[in-house]
Homo-oligomer: A and B are copies of this chain.
C-alpha cells in the first residue's frame, strides 16, 4: 500500500477506531441484550451513519480499497437486520481479511474502560465462542469447547463416584407435563421454544418453505428447559420398592430457555449442562444428597478452575421453581458482581407428588418419594473468564487449559546450515516427549509465516499458562526460556535438563497461585457491617461494565420476600444466598436486620449479579 494511502487509512481509522470499536461492540452487545425493536432502530441508525461515512470518503476521492472495510461493515450491519434471510453476497476478489475486520480484530478493550466490552472482546480474540444466526444461541468454538469438555470429563467422574448413572431423556416434552407442578409451570412457561409442526412444505406463494399445516401436532411439544417433568414421569415406572432407592440419574444435555437479553456463556437461549436427578426414601437422604452435590460443585470450581465460591442457600423468592430449598455456589467476578455458578435443589415431594411416585417400604406400605436435582452449565466458562483473565487476554488454570505449555521455536538465521535446524528440531522433539511423558499438554508453534512476537501475543490471548522459547543459541547453551502467563512473568533461562521437572512444579504453583489470588479478591470483595443506605448508594448506579465495583455485602437480615423485592427495586441488588458457614455459626444471632431493624433470622449476602 502506498505510504500516503496508508496514512489516509490510518487517518480514517485513526479518527474512528474508538468509534468503530464502540459501534461494533455496541452492535454485538446490542444484538444480544436489547429487545428486537430497539435493536432494529439502533441498527438502522448505524446503517445510515456508516453509509454517510462511505459517501463522505467517496466524495473526498478516497480509493475503493480505503473504504472497503466500511462497505463490509455496512453489509454486515444490513445482514444483522435480517441475518437468516440474507443470501450471502458473492465474494469479490479482494482478500477477505479486509472484509471481516471485526471478527479478526485482536483489540481487547481494557477492563477499566468497559468491563462488559472487555468480556466480549476476550471471547472473540481468544476464540471461545461466536454469535450465531439464531437469536440468543452461540457457537462454541474449539478453544471454548475444549474447556467445557474438560469440565465435563472431570465432573462426570466425580458424579459417577457418587453412584450416579448417566442416562438420556428426550429433548422434547409434552407441554401438558409442565403444568403438573404448579410452581414449575410458572417458572418456565414464558420462556419455552414450542414445536408445533413436524414437516416443512413449499409455500404456495412460491417464496420458500413454511410449516406444513397438514403436519400440525395435536399437542405441541416444548424443547426442555430442564427435565424434572420427563424424568419424574419415568421415575414412576422405575421406582416400586425401597430397594429401588436411592435412584440417581444424570444427563449431559442441551437445554433451551428463550432469553431476550443474552451474553455469551452467562445467559444464552440454548446452553449445555448436566442435570442430575435423584429420588430418595427420606427427606434427610435427599437433603444430604443435594448438599453433597453442592460440595462436589464447589470442589470442582476450586480444584479444576481455581474459582473460590461461597456456598449458601437461596432465599425463598430465589428458589428454583418447584424446589423446597435451592443451594447455590456464588462466585465473585472482577467487576464486583456475583455469578451463580451451580445450584442443587432439595425438591421435597413436589415432583414425586406431581407424578404420583411412591415406593413400598419394608413393611409393605406405600411411601412418598423425596427428590433432588442439580446442575452446572457452560456458564462456568463465564465464571472462569471473569475470575482470572486480564487486559492481555484469557488466563487459564493449567488443569483446564487445552494447551498447558506452548513451545515457540526461534528459527535459525538463513546463514546457518541445515544442521542447526536439525539440532533445534531434535532438541524440541526431545523436550516435547519428556513433557508428554509427564502427562503435560504441550504444543509446538513452528509456523514459519508468523513472527515470534505475534505468536507470543496469540498464546497470551488464549491464556496458555507457560510459554517456552527455544532457538539455535539456546540449543547451543543447552537452555530454554520460560515465560509464565501471569505471576512471575520475568523471562527465565532454564537448563534443558531441568526443564521437564520445572514445568511440572511450575504449573502446579501456577494453579494454586490463581486460586490464592482469586480467593484474596473474594475475601476483599465481601463487605461487612454496611448500613442499608451505604449499600444502596454503592449499588444503585453500579453497572456490569464497571471494573472493580463495590462487591458483595454480608449483612444481618430478617427473611422477608416483600423487603427483598423492595431492595431489588431500589438498588437492583438481590440476595445471592444465605451463606452456609456464617449461618451455621449463628453469626446473625442477636443482630438486627440491616433493612427492617427487626430481629435478624439470617446472615444474607447481597449483591448485583449476572
Which residues on A are within 8 Å of B, measured CB to CB?
84-85, 87-91, 93, 95-97, 100, 103, 130, 132-134, 137-142, 145-146, 148-149, 165-180, 185, 189-201, 208-211, 219-223, 230, 233-234, 236-237, 240-241, 243, 249, 253-254, 256, 258, 270, 272, 355-356, 358, 360, 364-366, 449
Contact = CB atoms under 8 A, between A and B. Distances in A.
B166 A270 contact: no
A200 B171 contact: no
Contacts of A100: 237, 240
Nearest to A402: B165
* Residue picked from A96, A198, A233, A272, most chain B C-beta under 10 Å: A198
A200 B219 contact: no
A102 to B, nearest CB: 10
25 contacts: A84-B177, A88-B233, A88-B356, A91-B366, A96-B240, A96-B241, A97-B240, A100-B240, A130-B237, A132-B169, A133-B174, A134-B172, A137-B170, A137-B171, A140-B167, A145-B165, A171-B171, A172-B270, A175-B200, A178-B200, A179-B208, A190-B201, A193-B198, A200-B222, A253-B254
A100 B572 CA distance: 52
A43 to B, nearest CB: 15
B179 A209 contact: yes
A89 B357 CA distance: 10
In the A-B complex, the 4 residue pairs with the smallest Cβ-Cβ separation, listed nearest first, are: A84-B174, A142-B165, A137-B170, A140-B168
A364 B95 CA distance: 8
Contacts of A234: 130, 132, 139
Contacts of A360: 95-96
A133 B197 contact: no
Contact of A95 (B189, B240, B355): B240
A64 to B, nearest CB: 17
B178 A209 contact: yes
Contacts of A87: 180
Given A137-B170, A139-B167, 14 more contacts: A84-B177, A87-B180, A88-B356, A90-B356, A100-B237, A103-B237, A133-B230, A134-B221, A175-B209, A179-B208, A189-B201, A192-B199, A200-B222, A254-B254
A233 B85 CA distance: 12
Contacts of A89: 356
B219 A85 contact: yes
B134 A174 contact: yes
B134 A173 contact: yes
Point out which of A133, A270, A355 has the most chain B C-beta atoms below 10 A from its C-beta: A133
Nearest to A197: B194
A31 B111 CA distance: 58
A491 B168 CA distance: 37
B194 A167 contact: no
Contacts of A201: 189-190
Contacts of A97: 240-241
A196 to B, nearest CB: 5
A230 B132 CA distance: 9
Contacts of A249: 142
A189 B199 contact: yes
B185 A192 contact: no
A140 B240 CA distance: 20
A253 B137 CA distance: 15
A285 B15 CA distance: 45
Contacts of A166: 142, 145-146, 149
Contacts of A223: 171, 195, 223
Contacts of A220: 197, 210-211
Given A194-B199, A195-B193, A209 B270 contact: no
Given A134-B221, A139-B169, A358 B91 contact: yes
A146 B365 CA distance: 34
A445 to B, nearest CB: 13
Nearest to A255: B171
B194 A132 contact: no
A139 B168 contact: yes
A194 B211 contact: yes
A222 to B, nearest CB: 7
A454 to B, nearest CB: 13
A499 B358 CA distance: 43
Nearest to A98: B240
A174 B136 CA distance: 13
B258 A199 contact: yes
B198 A197 contact: no
Contacts of A139: 167-170, 234
Contacts of A198: 191-194, 258
A51 to B, nearest CB: 23
A254 B171 contact: yes
Contacts of A219: 84-85
Nearest to A251: B145
A240 B98 CA distance: 10
B91 A356 contact: yes
A560 B241 CA distance: 60
Contacts of A149: 166
Contacts of A199: 189-192, 194, 258
Given A197-B194, A200-B175, A234-B132, A168 B272 contact: yes
